[in-house]
Structure 1
Amino acid sequence: MKKIQSLKLSLYYVFSLLLFLTVKPSFAMQIDTTAIVAGTAKLTGQVTIPKGVSKDNIYVKVTVAHPISGEFVKYSVITDSSGKFSIDADVETTTSLIHFSTTLNPNKSLLVKLKSGEVTNLDMTYNSGFDIEKFNITPQMNQNDMSRFYNIMGNMITYVPARKLEPLYNKSIEYFLNYNKTGLSDYLLIAKNDTLISEELKSLLHDEFRLFFYKGAIFDYHKAMIANFSNTNNNKDEKPIIQKIDKSYYRFLRDFKLNDPKYLRLPTFLEFQVKVLENETLAIPKIDETDIPTWLKNVKGILADLVGFSDGQYYDILVANAYGRQLTEELRPLTEKQKENIQNYWGDGEIAKILLRKNQKVAELDKFKSPVVINDVSSITPERVIETILSKHKGKVILIDLWATWCAPCLEAMQRFRPAKAEFHDKDVVFVYLTNHSSEPKLWEEKIKGIGSQQYYLDDKQWEYIMTKFEFEYIPSYLLYDKKGTLNNKFSAFPENDEVKKMLNDIL
């Protein structure tokens, strides 16, 4: 099967690994202690390019982490004729560290600090090659910290340790945990030894990568052992015997001291929380319409010994994240009973305000969400899968999305496209989603609740045939058919919403 080339990295870093800027430092970056707030922050600025250089439709893009509702929220605006832009962003903490880039050079990104209720201004100048020549920010930040954060994080993610890879699948669980804990220190040295960034940013990178490392390399023990066996065993036909774990495996959570409010500023904390809530071994129940004190009593019975505490802000965040899974993953509004439970527990507190604000937006999108339709094509030959899809939707414009549950860019694209997709709810457009066995069935069933529309779960031969026939090398990839069933366009990587909307409207 052709290898699907997709970076299985954090959503937050996938577009930022190649950043390299050299600028003079200003002063130490202050990493403020942050608190929870249902706030907004404004980012203004101007993008300047050399005279005589033409570039249409310059987009400014920011990603804001929402640690309470548990979502990365994307904002994208076009600069005006003079290069000016303005973005009003919802924030969930008094201070938020956001990802900033423009379409002039998406791989050159900046770390920008926003404060709730305040305005941050960022002016940028690009040279003729669309590299960032200079930038100025008010209130001031350390420019090396801003420009080097994603570069350093990318270097840590892609670092290959010098120590020889050894079999771990046949070792004790304690050995595995200690092996990784020791190995982590080599990755952390990359940030520690950087001479251009502030000590404050080094601390931030230490905490952020530590979460990222445990989330990706340790949390799923079974996957880690399968990968280790594959990488250290020459007998590919042999299947390893992986020992079973119980919830005591997750005692490493105690080392994180998760009640510390510093985690609110870390983007990977959102994804770390998802791992906790969705883990089959921990088996934390869905919150549904259970009253919050009862749900918390059950959850503390599972987690208290593992995290090392039975009270504190962490549990309130976890409750909010549990509601957030419903709102952001399933795109399912809160029930009246759930809203009552939230108000009974938090009153008019900031977490309640955040959840109800998010719910209002989800309720608007839910009006236009198509129900999930799971289509069975298991008996269809690979050559006839697309033909079968076209036949089912004759006379419709059809946009086919090839994706996977593990593909961060795929999921990010779907989230970005939600508002635009809703605009076509009453038009002759059908949205079709194809995935294959690389998407775990149970996770796929959960994900498609929030996607809706026409869903297909292909076998490997069907998937491989489509990827090869249309010369796709990675996902997300897309096929666009007009009402006559003729292929109008095919492309990989999701463009701007406006571009996709134009493609659809042009053939309606």
Structure 2
Amino acid sequence: MLGYYKKDIEKTEVNNTKPEIARSIFRRITLFYICGLWLLLSCIKTTKLDIGTVHIVAGTSKLTGKIITPNRQNKNSIMVSITVLHPISGENIKYEIPVNQSGEFAIEVDIETDTTYVGLQTSLEPYKALMVRLVDSSVTNIDIAYDGGNKIKYIEVLPAMNLIDMTQSTEVLRKMIEYTPDTLGWVYPQLFDKNIDEFLKYVAKSAPKRLELFLDSNDMFSKEFKGIIAKDLRLFIYTPDIFDYEDMMKRNYSNSTGDTIGNPEIQKIDRSYFRFLKDFNLNDPQYLQTFMFSEFQLELLRNSILDLPEIGESDIPSWLAGVKAILADLVGFDDGQYYDILTANAYARQLNEQVKPLSEKQKEHITHYWKNGEIAKILFRKNQQVVELEKVKSPVVINDIKSIQKDKVIETIISKYKGKVIFIDLWATWCAPCLDGIKQFGRAKRDLKGKDVVFVYITNTSSPLKLWEEKIKGIGDEHYYLTGEQWEYMMEYFGFEYIPSYLLYNKEGILINKFTSFPGNAAIKDMINDLL
């Protein structure tokens, strides 16, 4: 996979589209949380929540398949990766599946809706993402045949799917995301000095224009997938840029004027700014089948202007009352399933970001509210996974080296860990593939626990300090927060253009490897083990 991006480059009509993100849409898997009060508080929740055509379930599904290549090709080196949506526990999970010499692979995964879609990619054609349907308590089989140039020749899937839905969904989404008007005389829009209403109207026109050009008239897609793609596009446009108005307007000023030094006066917003949420119809259950929904929910839960309360050990009805007082007018409704999902996502934020298990009081509140319902089962299943992760998580160590000269930073860091293999991750809180790589490798670090290796995470001031402090609780290990000058020097010194980027030093402090983009757990573990 290619890496993520520098935060301050690349222009599109509405926001700064990030290079590579369209290609790796399924890696935007910082997806996080939702839930709430939609029945009368005195009612007993059912064990299966019906949300139109989608049911929330604490289910499992099995994916099997075969990769067919020219006869002499070694299939043992082929990997299949899938990204599974977990909209209730608020994240997208990526799995790497080895292919055996016969080309076969199989995996059983947890799912949170009775029908879900996973993004599937192979190491043969890593930028070609397929959408594959998984069904609770069922098996989906997909056979993919490649030609000698590692291009797909044909696909067979059971149960059957619309081939266009499966193969072209991510491609049409990429085209819409990357779209820039090519009309004569078009210029990058200057929005930083416009009033809020004018700006929001401008943004609201972006998705319909793209859908009209690339999707609406394409009858090859099913009606269902048109709805999913349209929702993912809207979520992508608004997340996270539109949530952070001040930051986006500063970048718009820089991009539209060419002034990278000036500090324009940006108008202040209040909660009323988020009236655009009413246009989303967030009670629509189809959002549970989009890849951007969890990230959208996370932005909403942690936004400092909305300032939704953390759920902590509050009882659910009381927490919901406070949340509805803020959100109801903005989203356009004060009941419905969306609030249940938002509540679950609020708990999941603790589980995912802090890797902190539920307290006994929190478990009591969940049981009292949802009884033995599916959302409770999902949260308790996730909680058990966090309990196991916490057993092997290393404590967080924050190292302050802001006073160190920029050309001495890496030397200072390396000198602290003499006699250890050092694996360094350059990342940021806003970089979804960075977070995805960290989450994936967190499951592999347990295998290296107790060995002579240290894990170092380096970011800079583009990561909001408060958010960084929250994120690293769930990461553990050694952390550095560089100044902008220190960071730019390091990126240039090592020749990195994008993040995530990585450095690997041996026990003698000699740089052995450097690379951009997370290559997978197996590759990194092999590199580290070779040096131990």
TM exceeding 0.5: yes
Kindly tell me: are residues 388 and 11 of structure 1, through their superposed partners in 2, closer, same or farther at Cα, counting changes over 3 Å?
same
Of 460-469 and 473-482, deviating more is 460-469
Pick from 49, 52, 56 the counterpart of residue 36 of structure 1: 56
Q: CA deviation at 1:218?
A: 2.4
The C-alpha deviation readout for 1:86-141, integer Å capped at 9, x for no partner, is: 11010000110110011111111101111111111101100011101001000100
- In structure 2, how many angstroms separate the alpha carbons of the residues matched to 1:405 and 1:217? 14
1:200 aligns with 2:224: yes
Pick from 395, 407, 421 the counterpart of residue 371 of structure 1: 395
1:80 aligns with 2:104: no
SS in structure 2 at match of 1:99: strand
1:182 aligns with 2:195: no
* Counterpart residue number, 1:96: 116
1:71 aligns with 2:80: no
The C-alpha deviation readout for 1:223-263, integer Å capped at 9, x for no partner, is: 22222222222555443221111111111111212112121
- In structure 1, how many angstroms separate the alpha carbons of the residues matched to 2:126 and 2:365? 43
- Give the number of aligned pairs: 493
* Counterpart residue number, 1:284: 308
Pick from 58, 62, 71 the counterpart of residue 51 of structure 1: 71
- In structure 1, how many angstroms separate the alpha carbons of the residues matched to 2:252 and 2:388? 45
Question: Which structure is higher in RCO with an 8 Å CA cutoff and minimum separation 6?
Answer: 2
Q: CA deviation at 1:369?
A: 0.8
Kindly tell me: are residues 265 and 235 of structure 1, through their superposed partners in 2, closer, same or farther at Cα, counting changes over 3 Å?
closer
- In structure 1, how many angstroms separate the alpha carbons of the residues matched to 2:262 and 2:498? 29
Task: Supply the AA of the counterpart residue of 2:506.
Answer: D
* Counterpart residue number, 1:21: none
Q: CA deviation at 1:11?
A: 9.9
Of 474-483 and 227-236, deviating more is 227-236
Q: CA deviation at 1:14?
A: 4.1
1:172 aligns with 2:195: yes
* Counterpart residue number, 2:329: 305
- In structure 2, how many angstroms separate the alpha carbons of the residues matched to 1:372 and 1:54? 42
- In structure 2, how many angstroms separate the alpha carbons of the residues matched to 1:440 and 1:216? 14
* Counterpart residue number, 1:24: none
Kindly tell me: are residues 41 and 473 of structure 1, through their superposed partners in 2, closer, same or farther at Cα, counting changes over 3 Å?
same
1:334 aligns with 2:358: yes
- In structure 2, how many angstroms separate the alpha carbons of the residues matched to 1:274 and 1:153? 22
Task: Supply the AA of the counterpart residue of 2:368.
Answer: N
The question of whether the paired residues in 2 share the 8 Å contact of 1:9 and 1:408 is answered with no
The question of whether the paired residues in 1 share the 8 Å contact of 2:310 and 2:346 is answered with yes
Matches within 5 A, 1:197-346: 197-346=221-370
SS in structure 1 at match of 2:93: strand
SS in structure 1 at match of 2:96: strand
Of 79-88 and 440-449, deviating more is 440-449
The question of whether the paired residues in 1 share the 8 Å contact of 2:22 and 2:177 is answered with no
Pick from 375, 392, 411 the counterpart of residue 387 of structure 1: 411
SS in structure 2 at match of 1:128: coil
- In structure 2, how many angstroms separate the alpha carbons of the residues matched to 1:371 and 1:92? 31
The question of whether the paired residues in 1 share the 8 Å contact of 2:62 and 2:107 is answered with yes
Aligned-residue sequence identity (percent) comes to 52
- In structure 2, how many angstroms separate the alpha carbons of the residues matched to 1:337 and 1:237? 50
* Counterpart residue number, 1:62: 82
The question of whether the paired residues in 2 share the 8 Å contact of 1:65 and 1:267 is answered with yes
Pick from 152, 155, 171 the counterpart of residue 175 of structure 2: 155
Q: CA deviation at 1:183?
A: 3.1
SS in structure 2 at match of 1:507: coil
The question of whether the paired residues in 1 share the 8 Å contact of 2:240 and 2:296 is answered with no
Stretches of structure 2 that go unaligned for 5 or more consecutive residues are 11-16, 27-50
- In structure 1, how many angstroms separate the alpha carbons of the residues matched to 2:337 and 2:283? 6
SS in structure 2 at match of 1:63: strand
Kindly tell me: are residues 278 and 176 of structure 1, through their superposed partners in 2, closer, same or farther at Cα, counting changes over 3 Å?
same
The question of whether the paired residues in 2 share the 8 Å contact of 1:11 and 1:412 is answered with no
* Counterpart residue number, 1:25: none
Of 165-174 and 451-460, deviating more is 165-174
The question of whether the paired residues in 2 share the 8 Å contact of 1:156 and 1:187 is answered with yes
Task: Supply the AA of the counterpart residue of 1:137.
Answer: V
* Counterpart residue number, 2:506: 482
Q: CA deviation at 1:422?
A: 1.5
Of 3-12 and 387-396, deviating more is 3-12
1:121 aligns with 2:144: no
Q: TM-score scaled to structure 2, two decimals?
A: 0.88
Kindly tell me: are residues 12 and 315 of structure 1, through their superposed partners in 2, closer, same or farther at Cα, counting changes over 3 Å?
farther
Task: Supply the AA of the counterpart residue of 2:473.
Answer: K
- In structure 1, how many angstroms separate the alpha carbons of the residues matched to 2:88 and 2:19? 18
The C-alpha deviation readout for 1:241-295, integer Å capped at 9, x for no partner, is: 2111111111111121211212111121111111110111110011111111111
The question of whether the paired residues in 2 share the 8 Å contact of 1:32 and 1:95 is answered with no
1:112 aligns with 2:132: yes
Q: CA deviation at 1:195?
A: 4.6
Q: CA deviation at 1:166?
A: 3.4
Task: Supply the AA of the counterpart residue of 1:406.
Answer: W
The question of whether the paired residues in 2 share the 8 Å contact of 1:16 and 1:108 is answered with no
Task: Supply the AA of the counterpart residue of 2:61.
Answer: A
* Counterpart residue number, 2:48: none
* Counterpart residue number, 1:15: 24
- In structure 2, how many angstroms separate the alpha carbons of the residues matched to 1:465 and 1:224? 25
1:400 aligns with 2:420: no
SS in structure 1 at match of 2:54: coil
- In structure 1, how many angstroms separate the alpha carbons of the residues matched to 2:229 and 2:252? 26
Stretches of structure 1 that go unaligned for 5 or more consecutive residues are 18-30
Task: Supply the AA of the counterpart residue of 2:340.
Answer: D
Q: CA deviation at 1:407?
A: 1.5
The question of whether the paired residues in 1 share the 8 Å contact of 2:232 and 2:292 is answered with yes
Task: Supply the AA of the counterpart residue of 1:507.
Answer: L
Of 198-207 and 430-439, deviating more is 198-207
Of 79-88 and 190-199, deviating more is 190-199
Task: Supply the AA of the counterpart residue of 1:307.
Answer: V
* Counterpart residue number, 2:160: 140
The question of whether the paired residues in 1 share the 8 Å contact of 2:424 and 2:458 is answered with yes
- In structure 2, how many angstroms separate the alpha carbons of the residues matched to 1:358 and 1:14? 29
- In structure 1, how many angstroms separate the alpha carbons of the residues matched to 2:266 and 2:361? 43
- In structure 1, how many angstroms separate the alpha carbons of the residues matched to 2:364 and 2:82? 34
